[in-house]
Structure 1
Amino acid sequence: MKNILIADDHPVVRVGLQCLLARHPGVRVIGEAADPEQLEVLLAEKTCDLVITDLSMPWGGRPDGVRMLESIRRDHGHVRLIVVTSFTNLQVLRAVVRLGVEGILEKTGGLSDLLAAVDCVLGGRTYFSGDLAQRLRSGRNRTGLSSRESEVIRLLAHGLSVKEIADVHRRTISTISRQKGAAMRRLGLRSDYELLDYAKSTGLSPGGH
């Protein structure tokens, strides 16, 4: 019997994963975490074979999914990892792959994807849902951002507010908000947490790789 920990900041997701995995032979869920701190406590207390985790969860008041994965890899190197994410940007996904994550699932995938990933990863193989493997190999990563959208993302990553960016560039707040929203849609980002995680993974933020 393989032991699994689940980490996601949305309770309904954790419950759904619990119910799905409860019917899957050979595995059992031994705990769930709502944030990286809780996950670290569980990893220290329990014998775990696999962690299924969201990439974008708050940690210490700021999001940093890559830092969370780095910590797990450093302190619990034997544990296998499946990351479930809404990120579609290849730079972010490559940062995850470089950490040795065995599985990446897109949140738009089906339940059968998750079970297939669990079986593959616990069997010593890797699993990338949909066309992720092909996209990662091909290197296609056209964000389609305009120069102004890219600049807005960069300044947000450096801690400026929408109002401050508007003041710096002498544009209206609504214009900056519109450019921010357009950039996030093109990058497949759904929240400010994911935006800052993207910035860290791609080197746009001061502490980025």
Structure 2
Amino acid sequence: MIRVLIADDHPIVRTGLRAVFEGEPSIEIVGEVGRAEDAVARVDAQADGIDVVTMDLRFGAGMSGAEATRAVRRREDAPAVLVLTNYDNDVDILEAIEAGASGYLLKDAPPADLISAVQDAAAGRTVLAPVVANRLQERRRRPEVALTPREHDVLALVAEGLTNDQISQRLYLSKPTVKSHLAHIYGKLDVSSRTAALARARDLGLLR
């Protein structure tokens, strides 16, 4: 029996996933949570012997799905993490994979594909949606600068003209964290100022 924890901040999505998985005899839903932090806490408790966590990427304020994935996968006896999301951009894909996700599927995948993905993840196999696999192949052929979703958020607010203090308040981040994100952005873009970062990001098409 594959024991699955569902982590998604939308109740309707959780209900839909539960309905899909409960129709498969080899899968048992051991719980569902609406916050990334709660998913990490449930795995840390290990009360349910979780085998696979289905993880959304965006949870609003607080820990992101990628951050939760990284925290979950740090455990020696970590369950597999299968990312189920609506987002298929390069930044999200890379951050999830680098965080240790065993798979990356879009939420509009057919039920049979979702079930197979959980089974593959539980068996230690990697599963990627076709569009995601294609993106990764293209990226290997054409390396690009990759910012994390949070770095994108910070950069977008810089583009709006917000100060570090204002970014801190808008994103509910500490000021040192904002500065750290900016330092990482500067390093990835090989620049040393906000103005240069914005110019370089626009050249690379990183600003949405």
TM-score normalised per structure 1: 0.65
Amino acid at match of 1:206: L
- Distance 1:156-1:72 versus aligned 2 partners, 3 A rule: closer
User: Which residue number corresponds to residue 154 of structure 2?
Assistant: 157
Structure 1 residues 14-163: aligned runs within 5 Å: 14-43=14-43, 44=45, 45-58=47-60, 61-75=61-75, 77-139=77-139, 157=154, 160=157
Gaps of 5+ in 2: 145-149, 163-169, 172-176, 186-208
Equivalent residues of 1:104, 1:128 under 8 A apart: yes
**Aligned-residue identity in percent:** 27
How far 1:208 moved relative to its partner?
A: 5.3
User: Which residue number corresponds to residue 206 of structure 1?
Assistant: 182
- Distance 1:17-1:207 versus aligned 2 partners, 3 A rule: farther
Amino acid at match of 1:130: P
Partner SS, residue 161 of structure 2? helix
User: Which residue number corresponds to residue 5 of structure 2?
Assistant: 5
Amino acid at match of 1:74: R
- Distance 1:158-1:132 versus aligned 2 partners, 3 A rule: closer
Equivalent residues of 1:90, 1:141 under 8 A apart: no
Amino acid at match of 1:115: I
Question: How many residues end up aligned between the 2 structures?
Answer: 165
CA RMSD of superposed structures (Å): 3.5
Amino acid at match of 2:59: M
Gaps of 5+ in 1: 144-152, 167-191, 194-199
Equivalent residues of 2:37, 2:68 under 8 A apart: no
Equivalent residues of 2:4, 2:54 under 8 A apart: yes
How far 1:113 moved relative to its partner?
A: 1.8
- Distance 1:97-1:156 versus aligned 2 partners, 3 A rule: closer
Higher relative contact order (CA 8 A, sep 6+): 1
Equivalent residues of 1:3, 1:48 under 8 A apart: yes
Partner SS, residue 66 of structure 1? helix
Partner SS, residue 52 of structure 1? strand
How far 1:70 moved relative to its partner?
A: 1.2
